[in-house]
């Protein structure tokens, strides 16, 4: 690969091209990187490359002629010209892979207030490295070049970049080295087991968990779907259903399977069959056609919503049972049974849901159950008192 960087400040690249992996790639002739000072192509007496903008305004604007001529001096039929601009498409790992397949890249580094608009006519693409402003395009050129060069065959071990963050829209898994115990912080036992299948499973689960916690926006990215509405990629699956939550099974490899739940075009939970190293809120699957029998929700905000929903359903059922007991002819037995159910429900909520609901929600729910119990007892007492008076009146008659 050949990379030409058009810049007003070629000296900024001396350290970049003479250190680390970039230097090794150049020395091993995996890549050729040249800087071109487009000031050398200015035809005016003072080698001026910028001028004031038509229509007025602050700052200086880069002129067409020096940049057009500089591009012409290095461009071939196989060249791809990239303008580094805040108006460009945001750079990503996917774009790095695309550019690494090109034979010749030409990067144009801007400076000052901006470019003459006509310069865009000689560019194949515009790229930005983020939503912020820099003094020029030199740093973006270094960032993109570094990202591309490490993907070239033979520059680094291929397996190293296949496991990089942002591949498959996932962050990387945690890594450790010696010593095994540092200040009480232990290396996970699974990494010391020698069981490569278990290690791979642990790493896959960690990638999902870390991404869901730190960059859920990566999981929410839209993906292209096949005819069935599903995109399969190894042991992951994406489901696009903007109206309802839908769970679908991906063909399992060995004994693992990973699911994602979508609602309103956004992932609400990641689910894993036979989870071992991920903690979260467990649910039973209801989809017999898809053979889904276990769900593990790891996103805390979603866990709280699901837990609250489930507890409220149970409290609603208890309220219904209280009403049935009030209308029951078998007074003592129904009263005893429903009061026992209320006590069991409180204990179950405290033992099972406390970690998911939060102390504030837990207190409210327990107080609500106690209130229902008190109201039921009052109603039952009034009811018994009413029937006792009726019996006394009948006897008098």
Residue 165 included in any domain: no
In the prediction, which pLDDT does 357 show? 83
176 within some domain? no
Evaluate whether residue 179 is within a structural domain.
Answer: no
Residue 58: is its pLDDT beyond 70? yes
Has residue 84 got a pLDDT over 90? yes
* pLDDT at residue 378, as a whole number: 85
82 has a pLDDT exceeding 50: yes
Residues 207 and 155 in one domain: no
Is the domain of 123 the same as that of 208?
no
**Residue 238: C-alpha distances to residues 195, 250, 325 (Å):** 29, 9, 47
Cα 393 from chain centroid (whole Å): 73
The answer, yes or no, to whether residue 275 has pLDDT greater than 60, is no
Residue 173 forms part of a structural domain? no
344 & 382 share domain: yes
Indicate whether 274 and 138 sit together in one domain. Answer: no
pLDDT at position 298 is 67
pLDDT value at 349 more than 50: yes
Residue 187 lies in a domain: no
- Does residue 337 share a domain with residue 249? no
Q: Are residues 124 and 55 in the same domain?
A: yes
Same domain, 282 and 309: no
Closest by Cα among 233, 234, 237 to 249: 237
Give, in order, the Cα–Cα distances in Å from 259 to each of 133, 243, 247, 263, 297: 39, 18, 7, 13, 10
Regarding whether 388 and 262 lie in a shared domain, the answer is no
What pLDDT does residue 167 have? Answer: 58
- Per the structure, the complete domain to which residue 337 belongs is given by 302-396
Question: Residue 219 has what pLDDT?
Answer: 64
pLDDT in tens, 118-162: 999 999 999 999 999 899 999 999 999 999 999 999 998 766 655
Q: Considering its fold, how many domains does the chain have in total?
A: 3
Which of 298, 316, 348 finishes a domain? 298
Q: Among 250, 276, 298, which residue terminates a domain? A: 298
Residues 231 and 223: their CA atoms lie apart, in Å, by 7
Q: For the chain, what is the mean pLDDT?
A: 79
Last residue of a domain, one of 298, 327, 358: 298
If one compares 296 and 87, the residue with the highest pLDDT of the two is: 87
Whole-angstrom distance, CA of residue 8 vs CA of residue 324:
84
Is a pLDDT exceeding 90 seen at residue 351?
A: no
Q: Kindly report the CA angle at 269 between 267 and 270, in degrees rounded to 5?
A: 105
Higher pLDDT, 18 or 316: 18
Q: Which CATH number covers residue 349? A: 1.10.132
Cβ atoms of 72 and 125 within 8 Å: the answer is no
Query: In CATH, what number is assigned to the domain containing residue 80?
Result: 3.40.1280.10
Same domain, 273 and 336: no
**What would the pLDDT profile of 287-304 be if each residue is shown by its tens digit?**
544 445 566 676 777 778
33 and 102, same domain (yes or no): yes
What's the pLDDT score for residue 162?
Answer: 57
H or E element in which residue 344 lies = helix 331-352
Judge whether 256 and 201 are in contact, CB under 8 Å.
yes
First to last CA, the chain: 111
Question: If you search the block for the tokens 């960032």, which residue do you land on?
Answer: 143
pLDDT confidence of residue 273: 44
Assigned domain for 275 exists: yes
Question: What is the pTM (predicted TM-score) of this model?
Answer: 0.55
Which residues participate in catalysis according to the annotation? Answer: 86, 113, 150, 164
Q: pLDDT value at position 96?
A: 94
Ordered strands of the 2-7 beta sheet: 32-37, 2-7, 104-109, 79-90, 125-128
**Rounded CA separation 140/142 (Å):** 5
Q: Quick one: 286 and 350 in the same domain?
A: no
Query: Tens of pLDDT along 165-192?
Result: 555 667 888 999 999 999 999 999 999 9
Closest CA to 274 of 198, 220, 174, 215: 198
Any domain includes 88:
yes
Do 210 and 128 belong to one domain? no
What pLDDT is stored for residue 241 in this prediction? 30
User: For position 322, what pLDDT does the model report?
Assistant: 83
Q: Is residue 167 part of a domain?
A: no
Q: Are 168 and 236 in contact (CB under 8 A)?
A: yes
Kindly report, residue by residue over 220-236, the tens digit of the pLDDT.
554 343 433 334 443 33
């Amino acid at each position: 690969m050949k990379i030409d960087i058009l810049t007003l400040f070629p000296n900024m690249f001396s350290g970049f091209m003479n250190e680390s992996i970039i230097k090794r790639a150049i020395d091993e002739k995996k890549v050729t990187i040249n800087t071109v000072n487009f000031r050398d192509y200015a035809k005016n007496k003072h080698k001026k490359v910028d001028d004031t903008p038509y229509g007025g305004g602050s700052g200086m604007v880069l002129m067409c002629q020096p940049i057009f001529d500089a591009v012409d001096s290095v461009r071939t039929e196989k060249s791809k010209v990239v303008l580094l601009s805040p108006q460009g498409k945001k750079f990503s790992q996917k774009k790095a892979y695309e550019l690494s397949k090109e034979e010749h890249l030409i990067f144009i580094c801007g400076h000052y207030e901006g470019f003459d608009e006509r310069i865009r006519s000689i560019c194949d693409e515009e790229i930005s490295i983020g939503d912020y402003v820099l003094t020029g395009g030199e740093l973006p050129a270094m960032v993109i070049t570094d990202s591309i060069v490490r993907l070239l065959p033979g520059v680094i071990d291929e397996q190293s970049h296949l496991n990089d963050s942002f591949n498959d829209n996932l962050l990387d898994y945690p890594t450790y080295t010696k010593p095994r115990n540092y200040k009480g912080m232990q290396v996970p036992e699974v990494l010391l087991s020698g069981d490569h299948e278990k290690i791979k499973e642990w790493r896959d689960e960690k990638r999902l968990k870390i991404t869901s916690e730190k960059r859920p926006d990566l999981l929410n990215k839209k993906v292209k779907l096949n005819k069935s509405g599903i995109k399969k990629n190894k042991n992951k699956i994406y489901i696009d259903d903007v109206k309802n939550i839908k769970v679908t099974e991906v063909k399992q490899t060995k004994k693992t399977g990973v699911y994602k739940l979508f609602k309103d075009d956004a992932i609400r939970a990641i689910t894993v069959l036979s989870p071992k190293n991920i903690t979260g809120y467990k649910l039973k699957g209801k989809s017999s056609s898809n053979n889904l029998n276990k769900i593990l929700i790891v996103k805390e905000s979603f866990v709280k919503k699901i837990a609250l929903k489930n507890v409220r359903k149970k409290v609603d059922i208890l309220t219904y049972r209280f009403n049935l007991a009030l209308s029951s002819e078998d007074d003592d037995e129904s009263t005893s049974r429903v009061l026992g159910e209320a006590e069991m429900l409180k204990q179950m909520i405290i033992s099972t849901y406390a970690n998911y609901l939060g102390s504030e929600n837990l207190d409210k729910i327990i107080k609500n159950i106690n209130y229902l119990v008190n109201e039921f007892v009052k109603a039952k007492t009034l009811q018994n008192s009413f029937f006792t008076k009726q019996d006394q009146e009948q006897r008098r008659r």
